Amino acid sequence: MRQTNYQGALQQPIGSGFNATSTTNDVIKGIDLKGKVVIVTGGNAGIGLETTITLANAGATVIVPARDVEKAKKNLEGIENVEVETMDIMNPASIDAFAEKFLASNRPLHLLINNAGIMWVPLRRDSRGFESQLATNYLGQFHLTARLFPALKKANGARVINVSSLGHQMAPFNFDDPNFLDREYETLQAYGQSKTASNLFSLELDNRAKAFNVRAYSLHPGSIAGTELGREASLELFQKMGFLDADGNMLPEVAARLKSIPQGAATTVWCATTNTLDNIGGVYCEDVDIARLANENSAGAHGVELYSLDESNAKRLWDLSEQMTGIKFQIS
């Protein structure tokens, strides 16, 4: 019986040869993706754009679903092997329409990179009443992956990469009130539980799908300069997080830890392409390697929390996700 990563059984660095300063160019060197089909959500901005460019330049056909197709086409102009399609990750009907169009093409899907996300936004709800960070950062991942699973199976060697965050340490998943109906909304708690959910999904998906040669991974890209993710966060929130001083200036120690966009996308590209993960799945990665458990990290800043690798939490979340989305995720 192949080992799973429940309770962090596989959460140990494997000596990838890369580190926090490694870039996408370092990771993709020598890798040929000709004939591979890839979908990258959020693939027209930030680390998603860097991921798209890197994989397309390595020969893959990269499909970028986007809410604003014209903006996506402008950002992706001049990049070969890229297709842009319409999809709003917060709109279930839009996800279904995109997936149906892709499945109708009869192409296998070798890599599904669930990169799209939002962070630290005011309380908003989607059309179903679900809190927006949970809907975007997790439920959209679950929905899209479920709909595309026939194409992932067809690839006979596919990977699902869920871009999570160190922010999962801000909150476990709240099964009693995931949508902040009976508790005061706190944006960091909402963000944290959405990323914990992404980790639990990767863990359970890998366990269920590996029999069909589909493996799943979650990852922390790092704190990255030059993205739009925190654009709605207040000055006070950044100060509360310890990023800015009383005058609104970034603290030098924070600036020193920031990654460039090519460094931030490196772990995604590594999880998607390295052969060192061929027989390992369900793990949480950071700095271009498998991460340690958080309580084993002496610095106390990085690593993955055990509650986001817990078997019972993962199975419970899977069932809840099917209930919330109304989708029966057919693995067999």
List pLDDT tens digits, range 238-255. Answer: 555 555 556 666 655 555
Cα(130)–Cα(149) distance, rounded to whole angstroms? 24
Q: Which amino acid is at 240?
A: K
Whole-number Å distance between alpha carbons of 132 and 227: 19
Is residue 2 pLDDT above 80, yes or no?
no
pLDDT: which is higher, 160 or 223:
160
Please say if the pLDDT value at position 292 is more than 70. Answer: yes
**Model confidence at 223: pLDDT above 90:** no
Are 316 and 204 within 8 A, CB to CB?
no
289-290 and 284-286 beta bridge pairing: antiparallel
**Which position has the higher pLDDT, 2 or 63?**
63
Concerning whether 191 is annotated as a catalytic residue, the answer is yes
Confidence tier at 332 by pLDDT (50, 70, 90): confident
Per-residue model confidence as pLDDT tens digits over 98-116: 999 999 999 999 999 999 9
Confidence at residue 295, expressed as pLDDT on a 0 to 100 scale: 74
Please report, rounded to a whole number, the percentage of residues in the chain having pLDDT higher than 70. Answer: 88
pLDDT in tens, 250-287: 655 555 578 999 999 999 999 999 999 999 999 999 99
Confidence of residue 298 (pLDDT cuts 50, 70, 90): very low
pLDDT at 241: 52
Catalytic residue among 191, 217, 284, 307: 191
Q: Cα separation of 229 and 23, whole Å?
A: 20
Instruction: Work out the burial of residue 328: count CB atoms within 10 Å of its CB; fewer than 13 is exposed, 13-18 middle, 19 or more buried.
Output: exposed
pLDDT of amino acid 204:
98
When the pLDDT of each residue in the chain is averaged and rounded to a whole number, the result is 92
Counting residues of the chain whose pLDDT is more than 90, the rounded percentage is 84
**pTM for this prediction:** 0.93
d(CA 178, CA 95): 22
Residue 1: predicted pLDDT: 46
